Structures are given as C-alpha cells and as structure tokens.
Structure 1
Amino acid sequence: MARYYVNKNAQANGDHEVHTTGCSFMPAQENRIYLGDFTSCAPAVVEAQRYYRQVNGCYYCCNSCHTQ
C-alpha cells in the first residue's frame, strides 16, 4: 500500500494531480491533501474527486492513472 495525496494547486490545464509519498514532484506539505493509503492509484483518484472535479494521476508516480 502507498500513501496518496492530491495537490491543492491545479496545473496549467486545471488538473489537480495525485501523488504518492516519495515522488520527486510531491507538492509542499501546505499544498497537499492526504487521501489515504491505497493498493493502487485508481481509488486514490476517486477519493481526490471528492475535493476537485478535475483530477489526474502524476505522470511519474501514478502513471497508470495519468491521462493526457
């Protein structure tokens, strides 16, 4: 299981990215929301959608949930 977070700050395209602990692109502590511990990124993305409408997985740490 991994710990997942969503970035409070949207990317230029409006996406709020989901990250795992240890990601090089993890937002600063004050700019992220802890989503929980999950076995994959898919349920973390669903949880992040409770906070933001436009959510995407990080290309680097949640690639299987990253859409273009």
Structure 2
Amino acid sequence: MKKYYVNNTEQSNKDHEVHTDECQYFKSIVSKKYLGEFSDCKPAIVEAKKTYSKSNGCKTCCNACHTS
C-alpha cells in the first residue's frame, strides 16, 4: 500500500496531478491533499476526482494512471 496525494495547484493543462509520497517530485509540491493508502493509483484517482474532476496520475510515480 502506498500513500497518495493530489497536488492542489493545477498544471498548465488544468490537471491536478496525483502522486505517491515516494515520488521524486513529492517534496517540491507546496500544497497537497492526502487521499489515503491504496494498492495502486486507480482508486487514488477516483478519490482525487471527488475534489478535482480533472485529476491525472503523475507520469513518474503513477504512470498507469497518466493520461495527459
């Protein structure tokens, strides 16, 4: 199980990226919301979309859920 977070700051394409706490970019995220512990990124994306409808997985740590 990994801990997942969504970045509160949207990307230039309006996505809010979902990251694990093990991601190389995690420490640089200034404002984030804890989503919970999940076995993979798919349920984390579902949880993130409750807050940000345009949520997307980080290409580095959640590549299976990265769509744009």
Match of 2:21 in 1: 21
Structure 1 runs of 4+ off > 3 angstroms? none
CA RMSD of aligned residues (A): 0.7
Match of 1:12 in 2: 12
Separation in 1, partners of 2:47, 2:66: 15
Separation in 1, partners of 2:48, 2:11: 15
Amino acid at match of 1:32: K
Q: Percent identity?
A: 52
| 1:14-43 superposed Cα distances (whole Å, 9 cap, x missing partner) | 000000012111213xx0000000000000
Provide the TM-score with structure 1 as the length reference. 0.93
Gaps of 5+ in 2: none
SS state at 1:33 partner: strand
